[in-house]
Amino acid sequence: MRRSRFLLGAVSGLTIAANTDSFFAKALAEPVLPGLPGGADDRVLILVNLQGGNDGLNTVVPYGLQQYYRVRPAIGVTPHDVLTLNAQLGLNPEMKSFKAMYDAGNVAIVQGVGYPKPDHSHFRSTEIWQTAAPDRYESTGWLGRYLDSANLPESNLFNALAVAQVLPEALISRKVDVPAIAAIQGYGLSSDKRAGERSAFSSLARDARAPFSSPYLSAVAEIEDHAQRGSEELPKLVAGYKTDAAYPATGIGRSLALAAQIVGSKLGTRVIYVQHGSFDTHAAQKGTQDRLLRELSDALKAFYDDLAAHGNDKRTLTMTFSEFGRRVAENASRGTDHGEAGPMFLIGGGVKGGIYGDHPSLDDLDNGDIKYAVDFRSVYATVVEKWFGRPSTGIIAGNFPTLALLA
């Protein structure tokens, strides 16, 4: 055996020729709700998690409100700097690429999104947004429940995918095993290069009949099997795609470039999760948040340029979320502490661009925090029903009106 020279994971999977005869079936056509336009079966949702709690007030800036400058004396964005949306609102000055997308009618901004009795803990509030269950502990994610309900082909190992090291709770499902893939590079089994070990691995690694019992045994065997099969297939499946945009060399840029490649390779993938952050700006907020918003804005622009060049922009909806907005008043460290409601963005050729809802009041507050006007479960229900064409019953508990923000 030759000494392997790789730095862990440096496989050359991307050079493998595209193989269209894979065992991955194309997604089965699924029934859509009556009255909905057809074609819901090749739609994709890109969920962008703005980790750490993004400060909504300095993202969509209410520069027309006097009160904004009273609560943000040091870190407020001046009227001169904002990217004007209307007489009252403007975007953070670092979001120029994003503003261009807004101007083209491809961005919906939903203001004041939150939930009742908001939790100020990152962990609990993240969990609430991921499970869509503010009032109880739920072991599956809201998108995991969508995947479970969507009759997706079991043979497809890429019904959904997280561009992440660790699977986010939003994608935890009962039936669908969702891989977390930080990057295609390294997504492969080095021993596969040796025929004897490749075949021995495939039978040993999936053998769950061990002389002991363990609650994790079958899960480990299944994931080992998926790891080998999935990693053999994925590079071949996406190799034919030619990226057609200049992505910024940032984490979110690389994540969205991979997302576009997967969307464009038509693997039947319904959901792709990417993350960006950390927006947890307790101190010296401006430098960090400005950089993160610029990275997000530039990466999203490249993403949609790439999607459009391949005709995928209309079937790809992108939605951002963050576990909470931040306190209205800045703190002594020129930062902001954990708050409550904040804006969400929905982006793509399928949205009706514009601003939804009024800007939340900065005078009528919930103990120093913005009161929510739109429950986030309304936005989720809109995605499930109007984008994916599935009833939201059993996915989003409770009755939440959908919003008319999709074309």
215-274 binders of another protein (CB under 8 A): 215-217, 219-221, 223-224, 226-227, 230-231
DSSP-H helix ranges across 86-216: 96-103, 122-131, 142-149, 195-204
285 φ/ψ sector (left φ>0, alpha ψ -120 to 50, else beta): alpha
Among 201, 376, 380, 387, binds another protein (CB under 8 A): 201
Among 210, 291, 394, 399, binds another protein (CB under 8 A): 210
Written as six digits, the tokens of 357 are 């809802």
Select from 133, 129, 38 the least CA-distant residue to 394. 133
Written as six digits, the tokens of 316 are 């790809």
- Residues forming a β-bridge with 181: none
Binding string, residues 146-165; x marks residues near another protein by CB under 8 A:
-----------x-------x
Question: Which part of the chain contacts another protein (CB under 8 A), choosing from 76-84, 116-124, 145-153, 382-390?
Answer: 116-124
d(CA 43, CA 138): 26
Q: Is 90 in the site for another protein (CB under 8 A)?
A: no
List the helix and strand counts (H, then E) for the chain: 9, 11
Among 53, 134, 144, 188, binds another protein (CB under 8 A): 188
Q: Is 194 in the site for another protein (CB under 8 A)?
A: yes
The least distance separating another protein from the CB of residue 196, rounded to whole angstroms, comes to 4
The least distance separating another protein from the CB of residue 278, rounded to whole angstroms, comes to 9
Number of residues interacting with another protein: please give it, by CB under 8 A. 72
> E strands along 128-262, which residues?
160-162
Q: Which of residues 271-300 bind another protein (CB under 8 A)?
A: 282-283
> E strands along 188-299, which residues?
271-277
d(CA 153, CA 246): 34
Q: Is 180 in the site for another protein (CB under 8 A)?
A: yes
Among 6, 103, 291, 404, binds another protein (CB under 8 A): 6
Q: Is 28 in the site for another protein (CB under 8 A)?
A: no
Binding string, residues 117-136; x marks residues near another protein by CB under 8 A:
---xxxxx-xx--x------
User: The tokens 């101007």 sit on which residue?
Assistant: 103
Nearest to another protein of 231, 316 (CB atom): 231
Written as six digits, the tokens of 192 are 């596969």
Q: Which of residues 319-378 bind another protein (CB under 8 A)?
A: 331-333, 337-338
